[in-house]
């Protein structure tokens, strides 16, 4: 569905590229999680893919159509649900939906059906005449999503669609997104909630400083390369003779009852497990590889604070 | 104390919206300068009021020359060269290019002391304010009384008494009334009708109010941009031109409703409160064209402001002060003929001046389509330029 090759973009007056030589492929029908710290280029990338910005160089194809030249054709079958509440607070729910249906150029005869469809998916039937300004945070997010569904998009961009809402609303929105994807819509989803991405996305890309650091399924990413660190917490600190035996394993660092091997190989892992069993040293906790997406994310993007 | 923290915060916020702060300080400063320049002749202690009139002496007698001399001695009025035909001069006065025309008819001197004297003609432009009209008429009466008494006493070879030092009957002032035929060139209904203050002021304030559409329009535009609604609409394929048109047309409608309401107040409500009734002129088409032209110009100008500013505060302050400035330059606050020559020249470039002239053509000078087309064309041109620049700014902002 999306093919990006060597994409570069720099905002006027900026000192560095917001997107620097990015290449990425997103297959049709996938639910793609786009991860990255603040300022990594996610929103810029989505803006380019929705025709709001034009890239300086590189090749962007959406459903085989080159951007920005064929932006209007792409905009006809894609939709953007921005992070902001991008609707009119002084209009009620149904007025907002009717307005955006009109702005999309949906024929008058089809507006009613499309609006009802969007209301149904977003669970807003009971709030049709409520002014948008008076909706709760969760309902506002659902209205924001509903507007994005009016043109029955084949490609849907969701920019942090669950920020600042309660767990119930969040679960509702996530399930709705899953259903939308199951009906054939390709979804590009950005979020800082790693658990959401783990739960929802069948493929993930990690972006930082305008570059793609990793891409694959959750399993592929967590499996990663062979050089994972191993961290073992023992139930009791080893005695001096036990410490002497442990020191036979190359690369092992000992700190009281905590053992650590950076870039642990299979052989080292098996050797350590056998040694601990032989010495009858109990294991309280053991960590090998990336336990979850957040660890991988922090490993890839670093732990330093971002601007 | 929390109040100190609040005050400190407010200072920081104010200082960091430097655009708004600049407007807050710079624009009133410009406003004061403009108003001071516009009124400089009025308040200068040793300068005359800058009122001009055409003087046509068809009599060319000793009496008429004496009268001309008397008129020349008036401090606040000065005669303009008047070589053109009277009809042409009357047109200039009718269009408020010059405030007055004074004509001494042939035979005026000879008939002065007879039972059926000729009358000195005073014609005032429709835009001349009542106080100015009375002031000029009084000056003419005084000059006439002086010349009349001199004529009366000529056989006795005595100097006429100073006006005001003797009773009116004896000073010739009552006779002067009979010697003067003063009329406004305002032609709404009956002859010799003078425009009411409603008639003279409604066009100016109507125009002023119409340009204030820029405040609600620009603040709404800024809010929509900040909410991300415009980005969403653009991602839906909505063109910048559609965005501009989507704002232009409804606000044009509001602006025209505003015109209708204000005119209805002038026609129906003001008379109920004891004021003069507003007459809408002779050409509904000319009125409609002017209303449309001013609406288009003011809404397009509002769209330009909306795309120039970044915050609602800037939009409000800029619009408020820019409107006051345009009004000051355009003759809304100070009549253009009272301004110094340089300011009058500058005034020709103010859209409010074009709007005012057009409305005055309709309301005061009974102008038709032909009379208002030049002003309407300028306003439409101004509006188109505003829209074009607004479109360019909108496009540039989208690329950021």
Half-sphere exposure of B114 (CA within 13 A, CB side): 9
Q: Using a CB-CB distance cutoff of 8 angstroms, which residues of chain A are in contact with residue B234?
A: 51-52
Contacts of A37 (CB under 8 A, 6+ apart): A208, A301, A306
The two most distant CA atoms of chain B are separated, in Å, by 97
Minimal Cα distance from A51: which residue of B? Answer: B235
Given a cut of 60, whether residue A52 has pLDDT beyond it is: yes
B166 pLDDT above the threshold of 60: no
Residue among A50, A76, A84 minimizing CB distance to B228: A84
Confidence of residue B343 (pLDDT cuts 50, 70, 90): confident
**Cβ of residue A56 closer than 8 Å to a chain B Cβ:** no
The mean of the pLDDT values for chain A is 86
Cα-flanking dihedrals φ and ψ of residue B348, to 5°?
Answer: -65, -15
Please check whether residue B194 is in contact with residue B186, taking contact to mean a CB–CB distance below 8 angstroms.
Answer: yes
Q: Write down the pLDDT at residue B273.
A: 84
Contacts of A235 (CB under 8 A, 6+ apart): A257, A281, A282, A283, A284
Select the highest-mean-pLDDT range: A89-93, B39-43, B341-345: A89-93
In the three-class reduction of DSSP (H, G, I as helix; E, B as strand; rest coil), residue A215 is classed as strand
Give A284→chain B minimum CA distance, Å: 51
Res A93 pLDDT > 60: yes
**B12/A contact by beta carbon, under 8 A:** no
> In sequence order, what DSSP letters do the residues of B326-349 get, joined into one string?
HHHHHTSSS-GGGS-HHHHHHHTT
pLDDT interval class at B300 (50, 70, 90):
very high
Alpha-carbon Rg for chain B in angstroms? 27
3-state secondary structure of A88: coil
What is the number of CB-based contacts under 8 A between chain A and chain B?
Answer: 55
**d(Cα B332, Cα B203) in Å, to the nearest integer?**
9
With cut-offs at 50, 70 and 90, classify the pLDDT of residue A164.
Answer: confident
pLDDT of residue A88: 92
Least Cα separation, residue A79 to chain B (angstroms): 7
The proportion of chain A whose per-residue pLDDT surpasses 90, expressed as a percent, equals 34
Return the sign of the alpha-carbon dihedral for residues B24, B28, B29, B31.
Answer: positive
pLDDT band at B330 (very low <50, low <70, confident <90, very high): confident
Contacts of B231 in chain A (CB under 8 A): 47, 52, 80, 82, 86
Position A224 confidence tier, pLDDT thresholds 50, 70, 90: low
Check pLDDT > 60 for residue B171: no
- The runs of H, that is alpha helices, within B101-172 are 108-111, 130-153, 168-171
Contact B235 A51 (CB under 8 A): yes
Quick check: A148 pLDDT over 90? Answer: yes
Give the whole-number percent of chain B exceeding pLDDT 90: 15
**In whole angstroms, what separates CA A15 from the centre of its chain?**
27
Please report, for residues A80, A120, A150, the alpha-carbon distance to residue A112 in angstroms, rounded to integers and kept in the order given: 21, 12, 10
Kindly list the residues from chain A whose CB atom is less than 8 angstroms away from the CB atom of residue B238.
103
Binary contact (A12, B399; C-beta < 8 A):
yes
| A interface test, pick of B227, B236, B243, B245 with most A CB neighbours within 10 Å | B236
In chain A, residues 171-190 whose CB comes closer than 8 Å to chain B? none
Window from A27-36, B194-203, B219-228 with minimum mean pLDDT: B194-203
Residue of A11, A52, A77, A145 for testing the chain B interface, max B β-carbons within 10 Å:
A52
pLDDT for B324 equals 84
Predicted confidence (pLDDT) at residue B169 exceeds the cutoff of 60: no
| Nearest CB neighbour to A75, from listed B227, B229, B237 | B237
Say if residue B50's pLDDT is above 70. Answer: no
Average pLDDT over chain B reads 81
A2-9, strands of its sheet edge to edge: A19-26, A2-9, A57-62, A65-67
Q: How far is CA B165 from CA B98, B171, B354, in A?
A: 33, 8, 48
Express each pLDDT in A272-298 by its tens digit: 888 888 888 888 888 777 667 777 777
User: Which pLDDT belongs to residue B326?
Assistant: 84
Q: Residue B41: its pLDDT value, please?
A: 59
Residue with the larger pLDDT of the pair B98 and A85 = A85
pLDDT band at residue B125, thresholds of 50, 70 and 90? confident
Q: Does B398 touch chain A (CB under 8 A)?
A: yes
Please answer yes or no on whether B235 and A104 come within 8 Å at the CB atom: no
pLDDT in tens, B196-222: 777 777 888 888 888 888 888 888 899
Higher pLDDT, B151 or B289: B289
pLDDT of residue A152: 93
Distance, CA of A32 to CA of A205 (rounded, Å): 7
Using 50, 70 and 90 to split pLDDT, how confident is the model at A176? Answer: very high
Contacts of A82 in chain B (CB under 8 A): 228, 231-232
Is the pLDDT assigned to residue B51 strictly greater than 90? no
Locate the chain A residue with the closest alpha carbon to B396: A12
Instruction: Report the DSSP beta bridge partners of residue A259.
Output: A232, A254
Chain A touched by B238 (CB under 8 Å): yes
How many CB atoms are located within 10 Å of the residue B199 CB? 24
DSSP B271-297: HHTT-PPPP--S-HHHHHHHHHHHHHH
Residues B377 and B94: their CA atoms lie apart, in Å, by 22
Give the pLDDT confidence score for residue B156 in this predicted structure.
66
Residue B375 has pLDDT above 60, yes or no: yes
DSSP assigned state of B85: -
Instruction: Give the confidence band of B398 by pLDDT, cuts at 50, 70, 90.
Output: low
**Residue A129 — very low, low, confident or very high, per pLDDT cuts 50/70/90?**
very high
Helix spans in chain B (H):
2-16, 18-38, 40-43, 62-72, 86-94, 108-111, 130-153, 168-171, 173-179, 197-211, 214-227, 229-235, 240-264, 270-272, 284-308, 312-330, 341-347, 351-363, 369-398
Check residue B285 and give its pLDDT.
94
Q: How far is B311 from chain A (nearest CA, A)?
A: 17
Residue A81: the pLDDT is 94
B163 has pLDDT over 60: no
Q: Write out pLDDT tens, residues B60-109.
A: 888 888 888 888 887 777 788 777 888 888 888 887 778 889 888 888 88
pLDDT band for A222, please (50, 70, 90 cuts).
confident
Give the Cα separation of A161 and B302 in Å (integer).
Answer: 34
**How close A195 comes to chain B (CA, Å)?**
27
Q: What count of residues does chain A have?
A: 307
Contact check, Cβ <8 Å, B228/A82 = yes
Which of B224, B235, B400 minimises the CB distance to A80? Answer: B235
The answer, for A241 touching chain B at a CB cutoff of 8 Å, is no
């Amino acid at each position: 569905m999306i093919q990006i090759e060597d994409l570069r973009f720099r905002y006027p007056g900026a000192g560095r590229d917001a997107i620097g030589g990015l290449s990425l492929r997103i297959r049709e029908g996938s639910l793609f999680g786009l991860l990255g710290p603040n300022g990594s280029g996610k929103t810029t990338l989505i803006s380019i893919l929705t025709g709001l910005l034009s890239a300086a160089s590189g090749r962007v194809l959406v459903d085989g159509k080159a951007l920005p030249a064929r932006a209007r054709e792409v905009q006809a079958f894609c939709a953007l649900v921005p992070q902001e509440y991008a609707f009119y607070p002084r209009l009620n729910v149904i007025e907002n939906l009717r307005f955006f249906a009109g702005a999309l150029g949906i024929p008058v005869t089809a507006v009613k059906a499309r609006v009802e469809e969007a209301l149904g998916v977003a669970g807003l039937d009971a709030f049709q005449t409520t002014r948008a300004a008076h909706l709760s945070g969760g309902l506002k997010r659902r209205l924001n999503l509903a507007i994005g569904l009016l043109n029955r998009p084949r490609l849907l961009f969701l920019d942090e669609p669950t920020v600042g809402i309660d767990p119930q609303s969040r679960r509702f929105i996530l399930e709705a997104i899953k259903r939308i994807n199951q009906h054939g819509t390709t979804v590009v989803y950005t979020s800082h909630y790693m658990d959401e991405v783990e739960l929802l996305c069948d493929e993930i890309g990690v972006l930082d400083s305008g570059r793609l650091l990793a891409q694959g399924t959750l399993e592929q990413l967590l499996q990663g390369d062979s050089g994972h660190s191993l961290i073992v917490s023992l139930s009791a600190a080893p005695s001096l003779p036990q410490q002497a035996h442990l020191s036979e394993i190359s690369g092992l660092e000992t700190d009281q009852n905590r053992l650590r091997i950076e870039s642990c190989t299979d052989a080292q892992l098996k050797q350590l497990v056998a040694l601990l069993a032989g010495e009858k040293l109990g294991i309280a906790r053991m960590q090998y590889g990336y336990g979850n997406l957040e660890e991988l994310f922090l490993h890839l993007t670093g732990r330093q604070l971002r601007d | 104390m929390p109040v100190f923290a609040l005050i400190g915060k407010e200072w920081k916020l104010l200082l960091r919206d430097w655009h708004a702060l600049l407007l807050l300080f710079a624009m009133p400063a410009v406003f004061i300068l403009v108003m001071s320049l516009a009124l400089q002749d009025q308040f200068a202690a040793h300068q005359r009021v800058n009122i001009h009139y055409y003087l046509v002496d068809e009599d060319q007698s000793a009496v008429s020359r004496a009268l001309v001399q008397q008129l020349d001695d008036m401090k606040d009025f000065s005669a303009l060269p008047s070589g053109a035909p009277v009809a042409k001069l009357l047109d200039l006065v009718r269009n408020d290019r010059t405030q007055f025309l004074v004509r001494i008819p042939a035979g005026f001197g000879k008939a002065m002391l007879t039972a059926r004297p000729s009358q000195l003609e005073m014609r005032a432009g429709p835009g001349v304010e009542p106080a100015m009209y009375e002031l000029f008429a009084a000056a003419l009466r005084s000059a006439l009384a002086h010349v009349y008494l001199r004529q009366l006493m000529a056989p006795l070879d005595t100097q006429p008494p100073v006006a005001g030092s003797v009773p009116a009957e004896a000073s010739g002032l009552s006779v002067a009334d009979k010697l003067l035929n003063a009329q406004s060139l305002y032609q709404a209904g009956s002859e010799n009708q003078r425009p009411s203050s409603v008639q003279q002021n409604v066009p100016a304030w109507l125009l002023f109010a119409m340009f204030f559409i820029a405040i609600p329009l620009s603040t709404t535009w800024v809010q929509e941009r900040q909410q991300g609604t415009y980005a969403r609409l653009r991602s839906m394929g909505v063109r910048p031109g559609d965005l501009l048109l989507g704002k232009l047309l409804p606000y044009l409608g509001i602006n025209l409703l505003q015109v209708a309401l204000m005119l209805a107040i002038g026609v129906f409500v003001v008379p109920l409160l004891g004021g003069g009734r507003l007459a809408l002129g002779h050409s509904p088409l000319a009125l409609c064209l002017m209303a449309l032209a001013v609406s288009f110009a003011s809404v397009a100008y509002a769209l330009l402001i909306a795309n120039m500013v970044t915050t609602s505060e800037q939009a409000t302050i800029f619009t408020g002060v820019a409107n006051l400035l345009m009004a000051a330059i355009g003759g809304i606050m100070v009549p253009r003929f009272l301004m110094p020559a340089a300011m009058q020249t500058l005034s020709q470039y103010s859209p409010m001046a074009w709007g005012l002239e057009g409305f005055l053509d309709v309301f005061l000078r009974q102008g038709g389509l032909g009379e208002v087309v030049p002003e309407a064309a300028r306003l439409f041109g101004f509006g188109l330029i505003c829209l074009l620049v607004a479109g360019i700014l909108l496009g540039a902002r989208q690329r950021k």
